[in-house]
Amino acid sequence: MQIRDLPFPDPGDPDVRSGPRFLLWLGRGQLGGQLKALGWGLLQQCTLAGFPLGVGLGVQAVVERSGSRLALAGGLILVLGALMAVGDTMLHRAAITNWITAAARVQQLLVRRTAELGAALTRRVAAGEVVAVSTGDVEKIGWFVEALSRFAAAAAALLLTCVGLILYLPSLGLLVALAVPVLALAVLPLLPPATRRADLQREKAGRATELASDTVAGLRVLRGIGGEELFLGRYRRASQEVRRAAVRSARMWALISAVQVLLPGLLLIALVWYGTVLARDGRIEVGQLVTVYSAATLMLFPLRHFEEIAMAYSFSRPSAQRAVRVLSLRRAARPSTVDAAPTGDLYDPVTGLLAPAGLFTAVVCGDPDAAGRLAERLGGHAQDEETDRTGPDRDGPGDRPPPGTPSVLLGGVPLDELPLDSARTSVLVQDKDPVLLSGTLRELLDVPASGLVDAGAALDAAQCGDVLDALAQTSTHRDGDPMETRITERGRSLSGGQRQRLALARSLVTDPGVLVLDEPTSAVDSHTEARVAAGVKGLREGRTTVAFASSPLLLDLADRVVLVHQDTVAAVGTHRELLRTEPRYRAVVTRDTEDPPMAPPSFTAPHAPDGGHTTHTTHTVGKTAEIEERA
């Protein structure tokens, strides 16, 4: 495959049983490129090994004062030089192609797995580790795949050279042939400690990258609490640990390089001494000694490939292991049984939550973490994070549902039986901390959508007028078009409320069959919150919308409100009805710190008569009246 043909139409199904097996799978996937590089490498190495023959013939021709043989030697050197230039050029081209295509294949696999897992990926693998795999690790994996063919060519050239020297001059050729395996294998005892040190360096570098990523993501909060110096100190210590580990690793590799310089030097000294003795006694010619010495000297170049392949493998093996850790994750979805996306009510059999089709349902949950998990379940993500056989489980005991937990139903059809594309088209979940990718506002809103909601209507519903004005002022476009203004990474140039509203507008543009919003107005003031709630309800009229919130301004606009207590639906009704009849609901909405009265497990019907609860305090009643008045 050529670089111009990238990306791959299908990167394939990788072998993720282990890092070495993954590297082997990559090598097999590029067998044609490997054979091409091997062929050009053999041409380059063999022509390089042929130079000593031409030099030896030339020296012997000078000794014997033979002009014709000297011209023959010169012509042979010219031909070998031209062939070596062609071989070296094409080898470099083929090797770089192998490197880039291997790295591109790994990146495509990572992107495909990231798209399949979605938000479940970062719950199993740290974001810093994913970044490290998709950048530095990908290059190291490509390096090993690329170096493999050059190493094979060098090993074949060494073998041919040794055989040729034995046939050309057995007395010296045998000495070289016996010494080459020793030179090639002398560094093997040093590789395990070098590999361990390299692994330690990679581990510490991954931790430092993760710490840096977390620090940058929370920089605004750190500045607010004055924690910059604390986290800077942590990163400084992590960076110094990486430096010390890198120095220890470099010392070992320096020792390996020193061994590969010292031993060949001793071989050349022994070869010159013994060859001089043979030439002085007249048992070999001077030209033969020059030929063998030149061949032994040039053999140092292919011997370097043994060191390189050892380094490439030691660096790429942990990188491949980290890539396997990500690629081995799977969605635990059942086989798809439905082709078309269903419509109807959204129902969670675990909690009993029902979101009727076409209505705006608000969900109140006193535990924010439980609300987040429920929102993810409604999006079909409860079973997304299953297979991870290469590392420890990062989740806490309460972060995942137990095996066999029933899936959320949409129109009576389990979401985990839908094809991934259909499930994501049917239900969209916007979590409480949405991410804005860098690019223009137009690119931000260019998402897969139904086409029924345009960007302008979504921005109006999300009350993004002030955001557009701010973007227009900083726009470098000649017309000051805010849609062409670039948004920095994660929207760091915007406030929290502006980022939240832009993310909400993006979700509204998508116009899914079911839209699940987790605290969509937590970062805006009360006046903006009321307008946003009204805009969302108006734009989503006739579409199923579920909003996790505790704001009375939003709850009062909902068609129905559901109280979830201890992972079970405890009450259903309108906002005003629940304020009057459900103490636990009042405690959450009014932020009452006093313990609410205990209620029976079964909840009161939405239209139950008033006066069912009389044990609340006067303080709570006052808050209730205030909330009702605001609503």
How many C-beta neighbours within 10 Å does residue 377 have? 22
Predicted confidence band of residue 124 (pLDDT cuts 50, 70, 90): confident
What letter would DSSP give residue 9?
A: S
Instruction: For 598, list phi and psi in degrees, rounded to 5.
Output: -70, 140
Residue 290 reports pLDDT greater than 90 = no
Residue with tokens 């009993």: 352
Q: What percent of the chain has pLDDT over 70?
A: 84
Query: Measuring CA to CA, which residue among 133, 140, 102 is closest to residue 6?
Result: 102
Residue 398 has a pLDDT of 41
Say if residue 578's pLDDT is above 70: yes
- DSSP-assigned states of every residue in 561-623: EEEEETTEEEEEE-HHHHHHH-HHHHHHHTT--SPPPP--SSPPPTTPPS-S---S-HHHHHH
Residue 546 banded pLDDT, cuts 50, 70, 90: very high
Cα→Cα distances 320→305, 326, 351, 498, 546, Å: 21, 10, 41, 40, 41
Angle (CA) 345 347 350, round 5°: 175
The model's pTM is 0.65
Query: Rounded mean pLDDT of 452-478?
Result: 87
Q: Tens digits of per-residue pLDDT, 8-33?
A: 888 889 998 898 899 999 988 888 88
Phi-psi region of 323 (alpha: psi -120 to 50; beta: other; left: phi over 0): alpha
Does residue 514 surpass a pLDDT of 90? yes
Beta bridge partners of 315: none
In a 3-state reduction of DSSP, which class is residue 439? strand
317: left (phi over 0), alpha (psi -120 to 50) or beta: alpha
Spatial distance between the Cα atoms of 478 and 488, rounded to a whole number of angstroms: 19
Both tokens assigned to 328 = 């081995």
Count CB-CB contacts under 10 A for residue 536: 26
Mean pLDDT, rounded, for 310-334: 80
SS3 296: helix
In the chain, the amino acid numbered 227 is G
> Looking at the DSSP assignment, which residues form a beta bridge with residue 362?
547, 561
Q: Which amino acid is at 11?
A: P
